[in-house]
Structure 1
Amino acid sequence: MKNLKKILESILFIAVSVSGLFAAGNASVASTAKKSTIVYTIKGNAEERYYTMMDKPVKALGYRLPDPRKHVNQVYKEQYGSTTLEVLSFMTIVNDKKVKPLLEIDPKLAGFNPFNLVIYKHEGKDETVISHLTASAIIDMLGITDQKVITEYTKQMEELDALVAKTFPSAVVSHGTYEGAVENTMMHYEITFDRPEDLDDYIDEIQEKVDDTFTEKGYIMAGFFDYKQGKPDLLPSYDAFWTFSLCHFPYSYSVFDNEGAMPEAAVFAPCTMYMYIKKDTNTLVIGMPRLANWNRFFTMNNQKRADFLNKLDKDIPATFIEIGAKEIK
């Protein structure tokens, strides 16, 4: 009996130890997952409450809405004849007063500022979804390492999320996740130019050239934001700093709408392209997140979407070269 008792105790010890190892292993796997998006799921149609929040409440936090795009699904229906969505609106926002000091430290932050606080609702589903990229995912994709920028920007996002949670207290909150390192996430280009006596002459010229060249290739400049706003004392390290919001409507319809619609990926839309000229220099710096990031966070669920994404991820760099830019590795 004593021997049997010892054997049973040994088996129990081994079982507990192995169980502990598996638990530790699972915890390790779980700990590697990083949050890509925060998702608020609200019962019913929350569109009007969302628009109310996006007026005075969000502006009270310091956010601007440079180029809001409401009822994108209706435009899809008018242009392509059908939609699977009851609601889809792109509300690009930027807290420029709080972002500007951070751009002085790392201008790459403009790669997702403005960003989209998207709302969507599938037809036939009794729920509305509001979502945006997390601060940590944005920082990861942009390759930002400065701790002050990380801390301050994360705080901004927390304030925004507190507002959404307050506005929709019954919302079910979840997160998209991703694992591993994100690499080759950004496009970086430069244009060296002959600096004129009046820099505005060059700025007007290059902005028009960028707009015209992308438009000719089927893109839409869905937004524009000037961080300097014509005031020299704003962003003193820069002579110019602006963003374009770039959209390709056939691509967005193919991903966000129709069969197997993926409106959740609209947190990336429209794409933000930033351009700046450091003070007293003759170099225009261009940066933009790659569309490949969409596939890292939201795996394209059919080959047509994946092929379209890959095509644009080649077309956009080629267009930068066409306007005279050189890639910076």
Structure 2
Amino acid sequence: MKKIISLIMAALVALSIVGCSSAEATPAKPKKIQDVQVFSTPNADGKITTKTIEKAFDSVGLSVPGNNDMNKPFSQRFPKLHYKVYNLAMYVNNDLTYKLIKKYPNFGALTPLTMSIWEGKEGCMNVATLTINGMARSTGIPLTDPDLIAYAALIHKGLKTAMPHGSFKNLDHTVKFPNKTLATNFEMELELDGESPEDFIENFEAEFEAEMEPLGFLMPNYSNLNEEIFDEAGYEAYDFYHTYSICKFDVIYPVSEKHPEAGAWAPCSFYLYKKKGENKMYLGFLSVDNWITTIGITEDEEGAKKLREAQGFIERIINEMTE
């Protein structure tokens, strides 16, 4: 009986994620503070697409360096598709990213930010992004930080521009560790012995990619923040600051079936940076516990097992390379 009740509850949660409402766009008042938000709108006429959403985000100052149709690779690797549309996209505002990283270097773990875009048989388009609570908790940035508040407001503006008749779903996930970042961080002492920081990081990243790719990891985005953000601002605090967006098909496919909103955390952003005048490199990403403990994933799900397996691979590679 308990198993039947659990299955019914899981089905109801899934329906609450994929359904949609025609209500005007006003944030719902969830019973619990959420780390992830889902904005949804009826789309029977098909006018809202992944491309129109990308265009709307870009129009408000959120550039989209990647907007990937996951159904294409899914259809080649797996027996069925869960949704008519399922995309994972990345987005960023350079000015706010600069201001936040200047104060909180580990904001690279959310650079770029990510979202999932999906449409099911019910004919509703949905977009999942992090809430300001999710952004603050996972990076340790105060909720009161004005630049974080501005970033969250810009995300809301992008969503409402993309889907003018949409509304926020009233999710009821339990954020199990509301006071923990659940970040995975590494430090590496550097002895360059005459090697330039640029040559060092080029060789390090080539080795990192060579270790990751045979294990099925993809890197759909790579950012050199010195070139893309800091140089324009005249900010010269880092010898290098790079981020990778990392994903794995056999992770996001099973997770997305029950938890399409997981794309608010995926692809995972992995940062590497060295400050000028220091002989140390800092590396980090947000642990898969951020997924598992904020959107209702249970440990017995295939997706949870795949998430932990993937993190184990990444940690092993980084630990070996930073010894």
TM-score, shorter chain, exceeding 0.5: yes
Which residue in the other structure is 1:277 paired with? 274
Quick check: 1:158 aligned with 2:156?
Answer: no
Change (3 A) 1:146 1:116: closer
- Secondary structure of 1:125's aligned partner: coil
**One-letter identity of the residue aligned with 1:164:** L
- How far has the Cα of 1:171 moved from its partner? 1.1
User: Identity of aligned pairs, percent?
Assistant: 17
Which residue in the other structure is 2:263 paired with? 266
After the TM superposition, which residues 39-188 of structure 1 pair with which residues of structure 2 at under 5 Å, given as runs?
39-44=38-43, 48-55=48-55, 57-69=56-68, 71-122=69-120, 124-145=121-142, 147=144, 150-176=145-171, 177-179=173-175, 181-183=178-180, 185-188=182-185
**One-letter identity of the residue aligned with 2:60:** L
**One-letter identity of the residue aligned with 1:43:** P
- How far has the Cα of 1:138 moved from its partner? 1.4
Quick check: 1:246 aligned with 2:276?
Answer: no
Kept in 2, the 8 Å contact 1:47–1:87? The answer is no
RMSD: 2.4
Unaligned runs of 5+ in 1: 1-29
**One-letter identity of the residue aligned with 2:158:** L
Which residue in the other structure is 2:191 paired with? 194
Quote the Cα distance in structure 2 between the aligned partners of 1:212 and 1:290. 22
- How far has the Cα of 1:50 moved from its partner? 4.3
Which residue in the other structure is 1:36 paired with? 35
Q: Deviations over 1:213-240 (max 9, x none)?
A: 1113221122111110187564322111
Q: How many residues align?
A: 288
Select the structure with the greater relative contact order (CA < 8 A; seq sep ≥ 6).
2
- Secondary structure of 1:77's aligned partner: helix
- Structure-2-length-normalised TM-score: 0.81
Kept in 1, the 8 Å contact 2:186–2:282? The answer is yes
Unaligned runs of 5+ in 2: 1-28
Change (3 A) 1:161 1:278: same
Kept in 1, the 8 Å contact 2:250–2:306? The answer is no
Moved more, 301-310 or 76-85: 301-310
Quote the Cα distance in structure 1 between the aligned partners of 2:292 and 2:210. 28
Which protein is bigger by CA-based radius of gyration?
1
Quote the Cα distance in structure 2 between the aligned partners of 1:315 and 1:133. 25
**One-letter identity of the residue aligned with 1:323:** M
Change (3 A) 1:191 1:32: farther
Kept in 2, the 8 Å contact 1:90–1:118? The answer is yes
Quote the Cα distance in structure 2 between the aligned partners of 1:146 and 1:281. 30
> Which one of the candidate residues 301, 304, 311 is aligned to 1:303?
301
Which residue in the other structure is 2:214 paired with? 216
Quote the Cα distance in structure 2 between the aligned partners of 1:299 and 1:219. 24
Quote the Cα distance in structure 1 between the aligned partners of 2:291 and 2:108. 18
- How far has the Cα of 1:97 moved from its partner? 2.1
Q: Deviations over 1:6-27 (max 9, x none)?
A: xxxxxxxxxxxxxxxxxxxxxx
Runs of 4+ aligned residues of structure 1 deviating over 6 Å after TM superposition are none
Quote the Cα distance in structure 2 between the aligned partners of 1:285 and 1:318. 16
